[in-house]
Amino acid sequence: MITLKSPREIREMAKSGAILAGMHVGLREIIKPGISSWEIEKFALKYFKDQGAIPEQIGFEGYKYATCVSINDEICHGFPRKGLILKDGDLIKVDTVVNYHGAMSDSCWSYVVGKSTSEIDKLMNVTKKALYLGIDQAQVGNRIGDIGAAIQHYTEDINGYGDVRDFIGHGIGPTMHESPNVPHYGEVGKGLRLRPGMTITIEPMINIGTWKAEMDDPNGWTARTMDGSLSCQFEHTIAITTDGPKILTSQDLEFDKKYLLD
């Protein structure tokens, strides 16, 4: 079911999104060579508790953690691990969902540990730009396919990367995952028409190699690139409004100025 949010509900989701964004900003100082990926989980848990927010992923279909921490060829749903020590050049994706007094927000961000490479820098830049190209298509009257087509054209046709098909964006609020589905591939003019009050995630997962994923990890959750290539993801929660798409999980108020609620 698709739920249309009132301006008040969208403002409450923005409060939730600000907490989530603050956690991501804090991770910039936490993620460094020599720490375990479990330290990311510990930081997120404490941050959300201090803000009076609930990490909504815990208990979702049996998932045990506040965060997904996916590394290098892991596309998504990686577990935070005490024995996994981060090293220079690791590409980390941290995904989480926050519930703040019933208002939901969802965001994933990518980080490079220590020294980066030109290959990683390009992948991160292309993936982040793809996210914003998708957001720019999230206009009242456009269709879901317009979002996916913009992302797919930029990542695959222009840059030769793999645009993951197996995991997609979705509606959000008052529960974590709602209709509509928001693929990051598609055709212009196809799919559900976007209406004011819809709140969705746009979360492209982009691989250096093939778009195909392997989902045979013994933990039953983690997906990896089929060819072992690096994968990157950026995700925002946005609201569809008559004044354009509004980012509810912004980490940079200046960069996102034109996408913010008044």
- Give me the number of domains the chain comprises: 1
What does each C-alpha distance from 177 to 91, 118, 174 come to in angstroms?
A: 26, 35, 9
Q: Is residue 93 part of a domain?
A: yes
Q: Is residue 23 part of a domain?
A: yes
Q: Is residue 1 part of a domain?
A: no
Q: Is residue 57 part of a domain?
A: yes
Q: Is residue 120 part of a domain?
A: yes
Segment 53-106, tens digit of pLDDT: 999 999 999 999 999 999 999 999 999 999 999 999 999 999 999 999 999 999
Q: Is residue 2 part of a domain?
A: no
Q: Three-state DSSP class for 213?
A: strand
Q: Is residue 80 part of a domain?
A: yes
Q: Is residue 167 part of a domain?
A: yes
What per-residue string of b and e applies to 33-65 under the rule 16 or more CB within 10 Å gives b?
Answer: eebbbbbbbbbbbebbeebebbbbbeeeeeeeb
**231-233: strand order across its sheet:** 162-163, 205-207, 231-233
In sequence order, which residues have a C-beta less than 8 Å from that of residue 62 and are 6 or more positions away? Answer: none
Residues annotated within the binding site for substrate are 77, 177
- Residue 262 is predicted with a pLDDT of 85
Residue 229 sits in a domain whose CATH number is 3.90.230.10
Cα(13)–Cα(141) distance, integer angstroms: 23
Cα(242)–Cα(141) distance, integer angstroms: 9
Residues annotated within the binding site for a divalent metal cation are 95, 106, 170, 203, 235
Residues annotated within the binding site are 77, 95, 106, 170, 177, 203, 235
Helix-strand-coil split of the chain, %, nearest 5? 30, 25, 45
pLDDT per residue rounded down to tens, the chain (262 residues): 899 999 999 999 999 999 999 999 999 999 999 999 999 999 999 999 999 999 999 999 999 999 999 999 999 999 999 999 999 999 999 999 999 999 999 999 999 999 999 999 999 999 999 999 999 999 999 999 999 999 999 999 999 999 999 999 999 999 999 999 999 999 999 999 999 999 999 999 999 999 999 999 999 999 999 999 999 999 999 999 999 999 999 999 999 999 999 8
Residue span of the structural domain in which 69 resides: 7-259
Cα(210)–Cα(217) distance, integer angstroms: 18
Using alpha carbons only, what angle is made at residue 179 by residues 173 and 184, rounded to the nearest 5 degrees?
105
152 residue type, one letter: Q
